[in-house]
Structure 1
């Protein structure tokens, strides 16, 4: 299945949480933090949204940090993804 976001929407997939700490301690499933970094899978075309012109600055493959509770969760080919507005993306990770 292919999802093509509309307007200022961006499809992101959260990265996997860390399995070990920086000291080498292996974390059980319940102790893993929810990941904050995501990868951009698809980007909408932008355009006029709510009366304002929106230029899309994100591109496929970017690593980003998005608002924790923003967006709509969707399953794409069995994988959990989130559909968010570009304005819900807080930063690009370099």
Structure 2
């Protein structure tokens, strides 16, 4: 099954959280924060949203930084994705 987002929405898959800190300390499950870096899996066509022309600035494969509680989580074929608006993306990560 594939997901095709509409309008200015994108489908992302969260990047796994780090298991250790930069100094080598192993983190317990409760100490890990919700990851905010994700990979874009699908991009909507853009178009006119709420009377404004929206140009899609991101593409499939980009790694992005998102708002902490943005989007709607969905599970398809045992894989968790998040669908959110392009405006909930804070930055593209290189």
TM-score with structure 2 length normalisation?
Answer: 0.95
Deviation at residue 69 of structure 1 after TM alignment: 1.4
1:71-94 C-alpha deviation (Å, 9 max, x unpaired): 111112211111000011010001
RMSD over aligned Cα atoms: 0.8
Residues 28-63 of structure 1 show CA distances to partners (whole Å, capped at 9, x for unaligned) of 111112111000000000111111111111100000
- In the TM superposition, residue 67 of structure 1 has moved relative to its aligned partner by 1.1
The runs of at least 4 aligned residues of structure 1 exceeding 2 Å deviation read none
Count of paired positions: 94
Q: Distance in 2 between matches of 1:68 and 1:33?
A: 10
In the other structure, the counterpart of 2:86 is: 86
Question: Residues 68-83 of structure 1: matches in 2 within 5 Å?
Answer: 68-83=68-83
